[in-house]
Structure 1
């Protein structure tokens, strides 16, 4: 297990916030004062700096979804055209120091070669603070856009696992010291330290090395929704963390416990189990208005049909819930209903109390995302294979 793997009762973990436009509720743009500036870089900068200042360990960025009404009818018309997740994460890289940046990238309708190179570049831009939130679209519109049939079930899981495997191999295709910048010979890299991955899976055929040197972290941490990948893929190390949801907030702790027991008794019992991150939608009492009233107004525009557990209540009640959840989880990802409003309450009332109770891992400037998860930096599999295949010198020979 990772060194952050939480035993019941230890209760020290990561807090992640989803910075999805104006908020995670589909009608958030109607009530957010910054929604109209969706393409303004100051909005992205302000959101990530506010999250970092509040003490969050990481932020996720989701890709845009179709608006609930025609753009001309919305006060946040620009939200339908906002920049994609990787672009926003890359912009946030140079303006933050401790916040891990985790864009959501689809594995079904995006080629793994492009995914791996974009994320490797993000790791350099963020100085080793990048991650990959794996998504697998079941949208008929997404399939039609690339001329494919909609993928579901076991085929969806297989494509996602294959995409992750190809991406990981491409990250390993450059050895750590492949870039030599030898001015005297005019060589930028050592060709012997680039490796052809030559992968054949049910879904992809990929040869050759990446076009980007190995990421600063070696391998970016990969987060995936629990249940997306087959148990065999999880046991083989496809994901470094699983996002765990539940039908209701009161069921989250039990769901986390059940998931952990399943991992420890699965295809590779006692192996390297991924960290578990709880998923939670959040609506708080704020600015003199009760959470239930705020939610009713939002749902009056567009009902929130989310697969995640929902919490609506006071900051103190949320703190108690997170205390319970962090006793059995490695972290929690919060989805604020309206980002401006709910992040303010989280920053002012929730995170300070959780830190006072000693429930949160420390925030360390310039730490990599692997550092935050307690993961060692792995060696390139191809460098290790080359070293193992190299002829050994005779015992006692000087060289």
Structure 2
């Protein structure tokens, strides 16, 4: 099998048991899993650690595996979202990703005093937040930090840019408060049902059959997604099913009911090797900075 493997570690696991989460992530790394995703919801009772914080905890306890928390565009302020993810990429030395969440229930949005969006408004919100996050990650050029001791300058202000973004429900001047992430742009994953595949690096597609997965994968690629992962929310798929998906999709995301059993099995399966950054592991190029050519946004 030449498919990349992602493993969901957020669901079915007590988020307060952070050490158990670390053990699972380390075991996944040892099994050659490309990345782990960490599901989250804006609401929840009891002790709760947000997915971005859990990912930050794992950043220095792992060395090669990708870390992809789910952050919701509807319940997280976009500037803070982009900053948190950029900081995660710095902390993990280039292994961060983002699973785009779009919680849109009354209960979830009541946490920030917001009403649910209609379908068109939700799609626009997802599109706007991904767009501005990518712009903010580019707001510092790669060589903006100069550390020029004789002049006492830490950075070249001409290489740090305002993004001046106007969305449907928010505006952001920028720039970001952290330098450009090591990967340039984090790997952005999201469900094909969000309707923004052109904004994604990895589209997650479901389906009850190989034919359905193939159809949705083809649509996602046509919509602009560089990579497509089949998203299995049920029991572990049989090896024969994964073999049949080889060439149909680029990877699979598993939601294991028994992570230890799945990791023992996955450790025996051939997978693409883990590289220094998640983009390198997935074969995604490091994007050029849109502001770098002349200090103005390129089209």
Q: Return the TM-score normalized by structure 2.
A: 0.92
Q: Which residue of 2 aligns with 1:47?
A: 24
Q: Does the CA contact (< 8 Å) of 1:311 and 1:318 recur in 2? A: no
1:324 matched to 2:220: no
Asked if 1:63 is matched to 2:20, the reply is: no
Q: 2:4 aligns with which of 14, 38, 59?
A: 14
CA shift for structure 1 position 170: 0.5
> In the alignment, what sits opposite 1:279?
231
Runs of 5+ consecutive residues of structure 1 not aligned to the other structure: 1-10, 24-34, 72-79, 267-271, 282-309, 390-399
Residue 104 of structure 2 is matched in structure 1 by: 138
Offset, 1:171: 0.6
Cα shift readout 1:98-144 (whole Å, capped 9, x = no counterpart): 11000000001211100100000000110000001001011211222
Q: Which residue of 1 aligns with 2:259?
A: 343
Q: Whose Rg is larger? A: 1
* 2:162 counterpart residue number: 196
The whole-number CA distance in structure 2 between the counterparts of 1:64 and 1:142 is 7
Alpha-carbon distance, 1:274 to partner: 2.5
SS in 2 for 1:180: strand
* 1:334 aligns with one of 254, 259, 284: 254
Aligned CA-pair RMSD: 2.2
Paired residues of 1:61 and 1:102 also in contact (CA < 8 A): yes
Equivalent residue, structure 2, for 1:383: 292
1:373 to 271, 282, 291: 282
Q: Deviations over 1:307-333 (max 9, x none)?
A: xxx236xxxx72122212233111111
Which residue pairs with 1:241 in the alignment?
202
- Cα distance, 1:260 vs. partner? 3.3
Q: Corresponding residue for 2:129?
A: 163
Deviation of 1:200 after TM superposition, in Å, equals 1.3
- Alignment length, in residue pairs? 298
Alpha-carbon spacing, 1:166–1:187, altered in 2? closer, same or farther (3 Å): same
Is this contact kept in 2: 1:319–1:350, CA < 8 A? no
Report if aligned partners of 2:5, 2:33 keep a CA contact under 8 Å in 1: yes
What TM-score does the superposition give when structure 1 sets the normalisation length? Answer: 0.70
Contact 2:67–2:95 (Cα < 8 Å) also in 1: yes
Could you tell me which runs of 5 or more consecutive residues in structure 2 were left unpaired when the two chains were aligned: none
CA distance in structure 2 between the aligned counterparts of 1:84 and 1:276, rounded to whole angstroms:
26
- Aligned residue for 1:172? 138
Distance 1:349 1:386 in 2: 50
- Tell me the distance in 2 between the aligned counterparts of 1:351 and 1:334: 14
2: CA distance between counterparts of 1:155 and 1:370?
31
Aligned equivalents of 2:195 and 2:188: distance in 1? 12
Distance, in Å, in 2 between the alignment partners of 1:260 and 1:279 is 11
Offset of 1:43 from its aligned partner?
1.7
Where 1:254 maps in the other structure, the secondary structure is helix
Moved more, 199-208 or 257-266: 257-266
Give 1 or 2: higher helix fraction.
Answer: 1
CA distance in 1, matches of 2:38, 2:116: 24
Q: Distance in 1 between matches of 2:96 and 2:226?
A: 17
Distance 2:80 2:73 in 1: 10
Structure 1 residue aligned with 2:216, among 233, 238, 259?
259
Instruction: Name the structure 2 match of 1:108.
Output: 74
